[in-house]
Amino acid sequence: MLLWQFYSYDQGVKQAAIIHPQQEHFYFFPSNAAPVAPAQAHRGGADVQQTQYSVENDTPGKGSMTCHVTLKNVGNAKAVGIQIFVRPFRGASNFDEDVGQSDTTPVSDDEPLGKFGQWLTLPDLAPGESSTQSVVFMSRRFVIQGTNPNPEILFQTEKAKP
């Protein structure tokens, strides 16, 4: 009986090797190769994007913070009427000083603090131009400032003059 089990097992292994042969050629793709960035598709006209966002605490005074926003027109036409909704606590984290700073919870976009912000108007931008503007907010204790991800930017493409 034991010999029959060995024979059956051996036949099963041989049959599996016939159905699924081992790979003979192995291809190596180096993982240290620089990744290729996908080409960004720009629509015709103006295309304004946030390129930089930074926060200075206790500026211009204690209990306030200054947010610096840089926008750039990466399109091929002049952008006019540019506005951005700056949300200083979007993407922020709460921490409890009593528990320790390592215990943080993200501020949700649905919370009032995550929705808090101010519209900022920027000057018209020609293709390739950028502009930096600043806005002041009151700082919040126990909140690490956010990065203003996915900002709301309003602009129009300048119409051609006849």
Confidence band of 30 (pLDDT split at 50, 70, 90): low
CATH number of the domain residue 57 falls in:
2.60.40.10
Q: Is 5 part of a structural domain of the chain?
A: no
- Domain membership of residue 70 (yes or no) is yes
- Which structural domain, as residue segments, surrounds residue 116? 48-156
Those residues with Cβ within 8 angstroms of residue 50's Cβ, 6 or more apart along the chain or in another chain: 69, 70, 71, 84, 148, 151, 153
**Residue 130: its pLDDT value, please?**
95
Q: What angle do CA 143, 72, 136 make, to 5 degrees?
A: 35
Confidence band, pLDDT 50/70/90 cuts, at residue 64: very high
With respect to residue 77, please indicate whether it lies within any of the assigned structural domains: yes
Q: What is the pLDDT of residues 107-118, one digit of tens each?
A: 777 888 878 899
Contacts of residue 86, defined as CB under 8 A and 6 or more positions apart, other chains included, come to: 67, 69, 117, 118, 119, 120, 135, 148, 151
Mean pLDDT, range 20-42, rounded to an integer: 61
Tokens of 91: 């993407």
Residue 9 lies in a domain: no
Is there a domain that residue 19 lies in? Answer: no
Our count of domains for the chain comes to 1
pLDDT of amino acid 98 = 59
Least confident residue range of 33-42, 51-60, 72-81, 98-107? 33-42
CB of 19 within 8 A of CB of 13? no
The answer to whether residue 93 is domain-embedded is yes
C-alpha to C-alpha distance for 90 and 15, rounded to whole angstroms: 60
pTM for the whole thing?
A: 0.65
Quickly list H helices, the chain. 2-19, 112-115
pLDDT at 11 over 70: yes
pLDDT tens digits, one per residue of 90-147:
767 766 555 555 566 777 778 888 788 999 999 999 999 999 999 999 988 777 778 8
Would residue 18 count as lying in a domain? Answer: no
Give the mean pLDDT of the chain. Answer: 81
pLDDT tens for 67-82 read 999 999 999 999 999 9
**Residue 59 within a domain:** yes
Buried b (16+ CB within 10 A) or exposed e, 59-95: eeeeeebbbebebbbbbebbbeebebebbbbbbbbbe
Report the distance separating Cα 48 and Cα 31, nearest Å: 34
